[in-house]
Amino acid sequence: MADNTPAITRARVTQLLDNKNVRYDTSEDNPNLIVTAFSSFGTIIDPATLSPFLTVSMASSNKMLPAEALSSLAAWANKWNASTVYGMAFPDQLDSGHIFARVECNLEVRHGLTDEQLEEFLMTALAACLESMEDYVATFDPQLIAAP
């Protein structure tokens, strides 16, 4: 990339979200993280503040499984990861023991992105994450419980 390619900043990401009429908030834990939801799936966007990666992380934290379903969830994640082109799914767990699916899409952005590249990555990452979450719900629907 050319030296004049703009760095990824929270302001650039939020401007893109504003242009797409996406509502978002700031993480209580880290003011650089962008918190939103797509189709009721919690979504965190890290505009390369914690690493050289622009990261979109989506979780089904409102649609949980009991702890004893961990092996089934891990098998689902492994199957998803083996067949998907983009994004990596994995189990996550609350302190209560309830488990849920999370998927992350990352892009190394150490050298910046143009506005067009930033938009393309974010839209692709959100679509890939959402597809994974929808498959998780379809796979485990009868067993899903509300978050405690």
Per-residue pLDDT at 40: 87
Helices (H) and strands (E) in the chain, counts: 3, 6
Backbone angles phi, psi at 35, to 5 degrees: -115, 130
The phi, psi pair for 89, rounded to 5°, reads -95, 150
So what's the pLDDT on residue 143? 75
CA distances (Å), origin 74, targets 7, 36, 61 = 36, 25, 16
Task: Average pLDDT across each block of 10 residues of the chain; the chain has 148 residues. List them in order.
Answer: 78 95 91 91 88 92 90 96 93 91 93 93 95 94 73
Asked whether 103 and 50 are in contact (CB, 8 A), the reply is: no
pLDDT for position 1: 45
114-135 tens-digit pLDDT: 999 999 999 999 999 999 999 9
Going along the chain from its start, the domains and CATH numbers come out as 10-140 (3.30.1460.70)
**List of residues 6+ apart from 125 with CB closer than 8 A:** 56, 86, 87, 105, 107
Q: Two tokens at 105?
A: 């899409």
pLDDT of residue 147: 66
The dihedral sign for the CA sequence 54, 33, 19, 112 = negative
Specify the pLDDT at position 34.
Answer: 95
H/E element, 135: helix 115-140
pLDDT at 137: 92
